[in-house]
Amino acid sequence: MANALRGEIEAMIDGEKHTLCLTLGALAELETRLQTGDLMGLSERFAEGRISARDLVAILGAGLRGGGHDVTDDDLARMSVEGGLAGAAQIALNLLQATFGTPA
């Protein structure tokens, strides 16, 4: 069960319920992978509202690894996400909101 106080969420991926969390390590991974430089750059990038499929794989992959799952981005790219592309985008949004807070 996800612990919202830790920034965890649950999502159905490949037919199984998974816990996702953007830990500090996962955020550092995203900074590097998406070349944002720092947390502010990462936050600004996502605040623009433009997220690519590559971004979704990076966010969900980092969140899965932060949640304790041993999965690569290549593994994730072959998995099905409940709700398809819209479902993946919603999971990413929920995860980012759990991590950075909901905008006022």
pLDDT for 16-74, tens place per residue?
999 999 999 999 999 999 998 898 888 888 888 788 899 999 999 999 999 999 999 99
pTM: 0.89
If you average pLDDT over residues 6-13, what whole number do you get? Answer: 94
User: How far apart (Å, rounded) are the C-alpha atoms in residues 16 and 33?
Assistant: 26
Number of domains within the chain: 1
Residue 104 lies in a domain: no
Structural domain range at position 11:
4-99
Q: Please provide the size of the chain in residues.
A: 104
Query: What contacts 85, CB < 8 A, 6 or more positions away?
Result: 53, 56
